[in-house]
Amino acid sequence: MTSAERMTRALWSAWWQRWPRWVARATMLWAVLYAGFALACTLNRIPLLPHGGDPGTSGLGWAVVAVGVLGALVSAAVVLYGLLPPLRVLLWVVCGLAGLIAFSLLMDVISLMLGQGVDSRASAVNKALAAVGAVLLAATARSDRLPAGTAVPAPSAAPQPLQRAAWAGTLAFAPYAAMKLVWASGGTFAGITGEEKLAVSERNGASGIFLTLESWGLDPTALLAVLGVFLLWGLVRPWGQVFPRWTLFLRGRRVPRWLPLTPALLGAATLAPYGVAGLGYLSLVTSGVVTMRRGDFHSSGDALLVAWTGMLAFAVYGIALSMAARSYWLRTRPTCPGVSPRSGCQSRTR
């Protein structure tokens, strides 16, 4: 390592260890910009949330503005008076609201990765900004805990119950991936052939990348499921905490905690509630309480079979991902000498 690299790393480390001091100001800046963005969109009648284009739901835009304003006021109070207990509670409240706004951001990210457009650019930007805000608000709420300058735990595996949960999340995706690959290879599942499914995807506006992969027998969503399983096991096994040998300059170094936790928390916050709520709805359909439209399928029964296959995978995987992310967070948390790893390090500065 050259002297310039050592100096750059030292400066970065010194700046990062001061994050409890700058994060509140960064959160305040985000909140002001977010409130301004939401206000501009609302005044121009640009919907920010699903169904926000309906005149009867125009108040949703003002609700987003209120979240930004509240975040600005609370973070400004933290900058002026420190992290008082009532302010910490308010930070977590605003963090939860920002997380709700960012819900379904994962779906937009997947659509963009597959070359498809999103339903609303303003809504997608709103979700992305809300996700950034949720991270900053959570960091501010925990800014009295020192994340660095302490002992870094050695790479470790999650307890056996969590590894069994990872197996459950992996196996839950097997029927879903098999269904997708059957269609991609030209086979028939739930009464619809691969050719019919490809025509439906093309009619619904699928991108050229998506259609090309399908024509090669590779379903993009099945490939994403493989990446999701890789992420899940990286959270519960020691190799998920150290860069592998093939990463050249990074090999042997510790993986920054935010790198796997960011997609894990985003995926868990989207798939777990989406899958659980979907299973509840499908249970009502199966018991005959409500009816389900057949959509692009030949019958409601075929649509129900496909829905069960997908929702079961999302629910089980989402729950397993939530458990794995929490375990990874606890196992990789820097510790102070003589302090329990689960307690973290309390800052002496207020």
311 and 218 co-located in one domain:
yes
Residue 342 falls inside a structural domain? no
**Is the pLDDT score of 226 beyond 50?**
yes
Q: Which two tokens stand for residue 254?
A: 């510790």
Q: What is the pLDDT of residues 29-61, one digit of tens each?
A: 999 999 999 999 888 888 887 654 454 446 788
pLDDT of residue 248: 66
- 99 compared with 55, residue with greater pLDDT: 99
- 156 compared with 22, residue with greater pLDDT: 156
> Residue 350 corresponds to which amino acid?
R
**Domains identified in the chain, total number:** 2
214 and 98 co-located in one domain:
no
Measured CA to CA, the distance from residue 322 to residue 235 in angstroms comes to: 10
| Inter-residue contact 192 to 302 (CB < 8 Å) | yes
For the chain, the residue count is 350
pLDDT of residue 2: 59
40 and 169 co-located in one domain:
no
Closest C-alpha among 126, 128, 63, 110 to residue 271: 110
Look up tokens 């992310």; give the residue: 325
pLDDT of residue 333: 82
pLDDT of residue 294: 81
- 15 compared with 271, residue with greater pLDDT: 271
> Residue 335 corresponds to which amino acid?
T
Look up tokens 């977010």; give the residue: 34
- 69 compared with 207, residue with greater pLDDT: 69
178 and 82 co-located in one domain:
no
Residue 7 falls inside a structural domain? no
| Inter-residue contact 134 to 95 (CB < 8 Å) | yes
Overall average pLDDT of the 133-146 stretch:
81
**Is the pLDDT score of 217 beyond 80?**
no
User: For residue 241, what are the domain limits?
Assistant: 160-331
Residue 213 falls inside a structural domain? yes
Other CB atoms within 10 A of residue 43 CB? 10
Q: What is the pLDDT of residues 231-284, one digit of tens each?
A: 999 999 999 988 877 766 667 778 888 889 888 988 888 888 889 999 999 999
pLDDT of residue 18: 53
